[in-house]
Amino acid sequence: MTDTDTDTDTDTDTAPAGLPGYPGATAAPAGTASDQEAARRWRLVLGRYAGERLDVSPGDQRLESTLGYLYDREYTARGHAAGRGGGGSGGGAGTLDGSAPHGVNFSALGWLGEARSLFPRETFERMQVEAVGRYGLTQLLGDRETVEAMEPSRELATALLQLRGTLDPSVADGVRRVIERVVEDVVRRLRPRFLTAVGGRVDRSRRSMHRVARNFDWKRTLRANLGRVDGDGRMLVQEIRFNARQKRALTWDVIVLVDQSGSMASSLLYSAVCAGILSGLPGIDVRLVLFDTSVVDMSHLAHDPVSVLLTAQLGGGTDIAGAVRFAEGQVRDPSRTVVALVSDFYEGGSVSELLAAVRRLRSSGVTLLGLAALDETAEPVYDQGTARHLAEAGMDVAALTPERFAEWLGEVLT
């Protein structure tokens, strides 16, 4: 309500303009186009549960059927009955049947095809995730052709990782294929960043004939062309300088500790991919460790992120102290060891023991990095109190995207 609205002593609901048939609603003035569009959108949002009061236009039948295939299941779960087209009091119509809304007998592949053609990619990806993760349509994963028609996304992979322990073995191949496609996509995006940041450090004492963007030396380029500035302050660049890059003479040990509690699916996905990329770089020896209340050394699979993800067991408690103590036992050369802890820092065990282990590692010369968990929107979600204590004990803590982690690690290893 605005400041000019007045309250009335009535129990009659008011409704958004243009929703015909809503209890207490007044007729929309002159049936404007905006009112009709509002009614159309509300009909698609509410589904056939609103069918007795809002009609679906002929042009929206495909949208209605495709949305209904998935979202009518929400009404079914709540025990609503379907009337003429929805859940009014119309008796005898039976309950909603999510597998064949409006009499349309979609196959899983047919529904995916319809959804892909009717909705923007972002919307289609979200519908896939909700189909599998929220409404349990795991039959989508039982047919290879259907799996190949799905749009691989981090959100879909995360949903599958969270559900994997409850899925029927018959869809195992489909789950693996989806995870493989998502991992391939993430590796394709992240590998160049790690190659640039970690593959070799810049040597500014030598010029390079290897003219690539990552070796561009803008400071030397400016100095070399200072004499070519015209009266308007524009520089004519004739000499472009590049830096050489040094290869590491010594090996670094990078121990990646990954929290696999239930909230960490997305971080686990990226951690497995990062470990896989790092294991293929020269001069780096990767140890990958997953933990909840127990510790599992996955180093033998670090090169294969898909196998790591399909082996991980999300859920359970969190004993970060136990994982850090395990890392202590893996240190060979403290001055050339990095321990990267990926966690939401919600410690279920002893915080004092965790901090003591961090102090011991720090005092020995080990470099400690703490990466806070990120949610589906890349927002940090972690226990700030424990993170602050870890920082005070000697661990560098940050909430970073995987791309920024590559740059951070590259700075540490120079």
- Residue 267's nearest CA partner among 388, 148, 375, 120 is 375
Q: Is residue 5, in this structure, part of any structural domain at all? A: no
The rounded mean pLDDT for the chain is 78
The answer to whether residue 126 scores a pLDDT higher than 50 is yes
At residue 80, the pLDDT reads 58
At residue 213, the pLDDT reads 60
Per the structure, the complete domain to which residue 213 belongs is given by: 203-227+235-246
pLDDT above 90 coverage of the chain, percent: 33
pLDDT digits (tens, 9 = 90+) for 356-391: 999 999 999 999 999 998 766 667 889 999 999 999
Q: In what order do the strands lie in the sheet with 284-291?
A: 295-297, 284-291, 252-259, 337-343, 367-372, 396-398
Least confident of 105-114, 285-294, 340-349: 105-114
Q: Is residue 150, in this structure, part of any structural domain at all? A: yes
- Residue 267's nearest CA partner among 345, 152, 181, 353 is 345
Neighbouring residues of 275: CB distance < 8 A, sequence distance ≥ 6: 256, 286, 288, 302, 305, 308
For residues 144-168, give the mean pLDDT. 84
The DSSP annotation for 192-217 comes to HHHHHHHS-EEEEEEE-S---GGGB-
The answer to whether residue 206 scores a pLDDT higher than 60 is no
Distances (CA, A) of 353 to 279, 325, 327: 30, 9, 14
Answer with the residue of higher pLDDT: 35 or 312.
312
With bands split at pLDDT 50, 70 and 90, how would you rate the model's confidence at 49? low
- Give the C-alpha separation, 409 to 283, whole Å: 13
With bands split at pLDDT 50, 70 and 90, how would you rate the model's confidence at 214? low
Q: Is residue 112, in this structure, part of any structural domain at all? A: no
For residues 52-68, give the mean pLDDT. 78
- Give the C-alpha separation, 212 to 245, whole Å: 11
93/78 same-domain check = yes
Residue-level length of the chain: 414
- Residue 340's nearest CA partner among 280, 276, 408 is 408
Q: Is residue 349, in this structure, part of any structural domain at all? A: yes
pLDDT digits (tens, 9 = 90+) for 221-264: 777 777 777 777 777 776 777 654 444 446 899 999 999 987 78
Q: Is residue 10, in this structure, part of any structural domain at all? A: no
**Of 77, 106, 135, which residue constitutes the final position of a domain?**
106
219/345 same-domain check = no
Cα three-residue angle 390-286-393, rounded to 5 degrees: 10
At residue 45, the pLDDT reads 76
124/219 same-domain check = no
The answer to whether residue 109 scores a pLDDT higher than 90 is no
156/28 same-domain check = no
270/368 same-domain check = yes
pLDDT digits (tens, 9 = 90+) for 16-31: 333 333 333 343 444 5
Q: Is residue 15, in this structure, part of any structural domain at all? A: no
Cite the beta strand spans of 104-251 per DSSP E: 201-207, 243-246
At residue 140, the pLDDT reads 82
For residues 298-310, give the mean pLDDT. 95
Q: What is the residue whose two structure tokens read 């899925």?
A: 167
Q: Is residue 7, in this structure, part of any structural domain at all? A: no
List of long-range contacts for 81-85, beta carbons under 8 Å, 24+ apart: 82/48, 82/49, 82/51, 83/51, 83/52, 84/51, 84/52, 85/48, 85/50, 85/51, 85/52, 85/55, 85/56
351/331 same-domain check = yes
| Bridge partner residues of 367 (DSSP) | 338
Going by the DSSP 8-state scheme, the letter that residue 171 receives in this structure is G
Q: Strands 284-291 and 252-259, how do they pair? A: parallel
**Of 106, 129, 159, which residue constitutes the final position of a domain?**
106
What CATH number is associated with residue 341?
3.40.50.410
The answer to whether residue 414 scores a pLDDT higher than 80 is no
318/388 same-domain check = yes
The answer to whether residue 88 scores a pLDDT higher than 80 is no
273/174 same-domain check = no
- Give the C-alpha separation, 335 to 364, whole Å: 8
The answer to whether residue 135 scores a pLDDT higher than 50 is yes
With bands split at pLDDT 50, 70 and 90, how would you rate the model's confidence at 333? very high
Answer with the residue of higher pLDDT: 47 or 37.
37
95/221 same-domain check = no
| Bridge partner residues of 11 (DSSP) | none
Q: What are phi and psi of 246, to 5 degrees?
A: -85, 145
At residue 124, the pLDDT reads 86
Q: Is residue 295, in this structure, part of any structural domain at all? A: yes
Q: Is 284 helix (H, G, I), strand (E, B) or coil?
A: strand
- Give the C-alpha separation, 102 to 61, whole Å: 9
By the 8 A CB rule, do 283 and 336 touch? no
Going by the DSSP 8-state scheme, the letter that residue 95 receives in this structure is B
278/349 same-domain check = yes
240/265 same-domain check = no
By the 8 A CB rule, do 104 and 141 touch? no
> For the chain, how many structural domains are there in total?
4
80/125 same-domain check = no
